Amino acid sequence: MAATRVITAATAVTQTTSCFLAKRAFALPAKRPCGGFGALCFSRRALVLKSKRPFSCSAIYNPQVKVQEEGPPESLDYRVFFLDGSGKKVSPWHDIPLTIGDGVFNFIVEIPKESKAKMEVATDEDFTPIKQDTKKGKLRYYPYNINWNYGLLPQTWEDPSHANAEVEGCFGDNDPVDVVEIGETQRKIGDVLKIKPLAALAMIDEGELDWKIVAISLDDPKAHLVNDVEDVEKHFPGTLTAIRDWFRDYKIPDGKPANRFGLGDKPANKEYALKIIQETNESWAKLVKRTVDAGELSLY
């Protein structure tokens, strides 16, 4: 029997969302929720694709979503699905809103801190559940525990056809943007946290750009102390260096070369992190509107 638990995705967002570009809240038309970022909002009914169902950047504005686990943990069949209030499957990547206003973003936990099973959203499967990554048919594990909660920003996408001139002309890695959440609490797979971004690291993995947004959950005891990269250095000394070194070196035990980092090997500030989030949200909007090739990616 599949195990189901209820988690809070976003509170008090049934009436308004945020306009990132305008930096202010705006009212939503009746029955037209929009999870887009800034000016990228549009109605689900306005976009009908040549597929079994329509899709748009409309998002779930329900205070709670359910997480349903199917299959035994640490098996090839294990999946963590997300359900809306009616029990229907939804996509954590496409259907949970990126932002809920006032500089607050939703973050979906794939890998809890102090664990090493390499969990990820299955971007090529219907409803994009969380599963354990595989290589040559075997489950993948990091060589050692990751020391922070790790996951993704919904409604973002690193476009593999876009070369970033500021990071050695590297192309995106074809995935949602990653988040490293530095709070003290170990979270669960599928938790949806409200976070504020603090910094960004431009990791280059085998030539592909793989952004790491450093953030903190709003319910962490130190959240009120940190608002930018300098605050992280002050209140979490050594953390940014530890994050960079962890992601630089984790492939070395498998005989692969170390990853590299752009932007002078240093973390960018919050303003730059917000720019990356905006740009990758715009790329995601093009993806779901199919103005760029989706390839094998699931759009629902």
Residues annotated as part of the active site = 142
Dig out the tokens for 185 from the structure. 């609490």
What count of other Cβ atoms lies within 10 Å of the Cβ of residue 237? 10
Type of residue found at 78: Y
The DSSP string of 5-28 is EEEE--SS-SSEEEETTTTEEEEP
Type of residue found at 29: P
DSSP-derived secondary structure letter, 46: G
Could you tell me how many helices (H) and strands (E) the chain has, helices first? 3, 21
Dig out the tokens for 126 from the structure. 């219907």
Among all chains, which residue has been given the structure tokens 């750009």?
A: 209
CA distance 28 to 270: 28
DSSP-derived secondary structure letter, 276: H
Contact predicate 173/162, CB 8 Å: no
Q: Which residues contact 47 (CB under 8 A, 6 or more apart)?
A: 54, 55, 56, 288, 289
Dig out the tokens for 131 from the structure. 């599963």
Type of residue found at 256: K
